[in-house]
Structure 1
């Protein structure tokens, strides 16, 4: 943010004896950069007659690059606004408002007449028209002088330039007219522009050597050095990208535990009964595998509260179970008919009823069973440290079915 210095002119006003003879000070369009020539008023933060303090934002100025706040350096009063909000293409230095001291009475304050400035400029214009050949030669001399800088880097000041507010303020403080400044003060700014440092060096407040060093440093960085710039390497082709993708290590496959349990079920048990019983048993085994402690709970060192603190995300499932039941004997077995007596039975006098009783006794001793396969798949959540062990406990618990056949 740029800060515009608004100098207090109280020392000059002390020369006047009567308060009615006090004059307001012209506030020109500020130059917010060395190359700025014109600007616009975006928004006044104070109205005519309002007082302001040092550090207050007086207005927003629009340049060709940005919108910048202009702050007050000293206390004062906004006496009159010449350029309202939205005014554009205002030359640098042209009055946009009048300012006064905080204690000034606006009713008795005298404002400079802008008409007089125009009258003074007219004779200059007529002189230019009358002596056009002389102007051309003068311009050539000025340009030639500006093109031939001295050893210290300064050139003759450009007579057509608009001085910065900081330069104008410094000249007025030291009673130096604009004409004398353009004629006597050497310029180190671009295109023969007088900078504040040039005025300070002319007044002897800073050394010429210090000004020369600053000028040389600025001029050495005026041009962008592109000698160290290197071309960016070409982008990888599609084939190279595919090869790089293929070279990346493959993601590890998730851990899945599989188990097949063979079940020999009596023929009088239906498939629906078997499926319901297995579903209940799988649910119970899964609950126990998640709930039972992994350490020896009979040990004297076992502490259930401490163990719960060590469990990682206790409510999150450690594994997921999927299973299916496969009928290994889909074709029903052939049932023999009632036994018929053979020749030996007839000769021995054995009746058909006796043969049926013998067959029923044999069938009770050798009861037939139906064979099923229970295929179980357990997907382990490897992000949890105890998941694999609990999944293995579940499979081991489920395998106990084979012991009860």
Structure 2
């Protein structure tokens, strides 16, 4: 039995050791997985705890939840105030990041305000239609998700919180000030070289030249505020530092400041008003130079009136019509004025300029102008006047009885020499016209045409 037991024990010992090693490995793997799971859960809990600690802090008592003020946002760099058009949420409503909380109106546009984090609307301070709300003013109170609104502590407005510490500090500051005044009144007057009893408040940074001078002479920063300042708006000048270290007189900065103050205002007491200047005399305008008068030129041509007188006599003989020579001359002048050469002083008309633009070249043509010449005939002596016989009928007295009995005889008209008529003679006469200087050719062409008509073809003048 013992032998069997020994053998069993030995056998069991031999078999147990490999089994024990296998079980230990399995237990180690399971324990490692359990440890990893616990480690992950502990990290998650730690993170959440850290967030809670950062947002609410450690507490030894029951948590007193606090909300946050929601102020009017600045939707643009130049925005100073805005109006609330409407709230998109109500008190007690929950929201997530990105939800529109309200709509704000400005003088330029209307914009929606979105939530940055998840939370709950605890209270609305400025309702719909609120006008003129300054940027940074409280318009509502927000809480975090999961908070109990009924137990939340509504925070005070930030402006009220800032005023409270100032009111508490002001009584404390008044007491040292009163004590300092009492000490100054009881103290003996000090010498001028001593530093002032109060410290100068530095409103502006030191000038580079002043800072260099302070550093050069090793003046402590605590002593800089004790230097008397004479610059504008309590600014420390270089002269103040020089007076403090004794390089210039103590009164010099004050004197210099007085001079600058005096010279900053323009003194007009010694200025005399200059007498008004006399108005400049109007210069007498020089008489305008008279335009040179264009002198006309006389162009003359001898013309014979013999052919015209013959035509006049034939018409009177056949038709019994007397045509004066002036009619012949007027008709001849009318024919001669057609298609004369262009005057050198004449300006082209609008039609001619337009034709020239089209390339018709009508301006350069030498003929084609209607003249208005009327010739003057040189008066001749009385002996040169022509006598034209005229037919005159002598009126006879007829008895009525002779007329009724048929005894009256018709008598032929007698030719009685008429009185000589004044006018151009049958001999040569001088025809002349006045033309501007340079247009002699135009006048000569006119007279040549008149001569041709009166001497060669006067019959065309009565057609």
TM-score by length of 2: 0.25
For the pair shown, the structure with the greater C-alpha radius of gyration is: 2
TM-score by length of 1: 0.28
